[in-house]
Amino acid sequence: MILLALLTLAVTPPSTPALGTAEARCRPHETGPALIVEIDGLKDRVGVLRGELYPARDGDFLADDNVLIGQGKTFRRAVVTVPSAGPVSLCLRVPAPGTYALSVVHARDGGHGFSLLHDGIGFASNPRLGHSKPHADQASVVVHEGLTTTHVVMNYRSGLFSFAPIKR
């Protein structure tokens, strides 16, 4: 399948923007378990970043947040404004140490959706995207008892149907 169809179905399902945000909110001096996501390769310094944590299973990864929460499955979302300068990171508190799948969306217009033409996307472990979304195990991260740090490189549309990091 092409990335266009997959991201349209998988990243932009009907969603409630506030779902999972209270549970994901890191506290001052967070001790964990929590995931610190350091983000590199932004196209520009506008909009918001939306980090979303899912169960590390293909059927649950990028699934509708309403469905996941309704089924009692893990879903966490952190939304931060892209800073005008300096390092970029976000924090997601997790329910327990374990393996999770992670996506990060750079919504350049600050909205809740995903524009295939303008927005960026990245995943834990930085899999090569090409024409399709990664499997959950390719976008997973192991979160330990305390704070776990991971790095995500953003990808933007490159050509007609593929996504890749920005070449500088």
User: What would the two tokens of residue 84 be?
Assistant: 């005008």
The predicted pLDDT at position 15 comes to: 62
Tokens of 76: 């966490």
pLDDT at 7: 52
Burial of 167 (0-12, 13-18, 19+ CB in 10 A): exposed
The two tokens of residue 136 are 């959950």
Give the 3-state secondary structure percentages of the chain, helix then strand then coil, rounded to 5.
15, 35, 50
> What's the pLDDT at 9?
45
Helix (H, G, I), strand (E, B) or coil at 126: coil
Q: Hey, how many other C-beta atoms are within 10 angstroms of the C-beta on 119?
A: 23
The confidence score (pLDDT) of residue 16 equals: 67
Of the candidates 29, 84, 81, the residue with the CA atom closest to the CA atom of residue 50: 81
Each residue's pLDDT, cut to its tens digit, for the chain (168 residues) gives 444 444 544 444 456 667 778 788 898 888 989 999 999 999 999 999 999 999 999 999 999 999 999 999 999 999 999 999 999 999 999 999 999 999 999 999 988 888 888 999 999 999 998 777 899 999 999 999 999 999 999 999 988 778 999 987
- The C-alpha atoms of residue 20 and residue 3 are separated, in whole angstroms, by 26
pTM of the model: 0.86
Output the pLDDT for position 12. Answer: 43
pLDDT at res. 69? 93
Give 157's strand partners. Answer: 163
Q: What is the pLDDT of residue 130?
A: 72
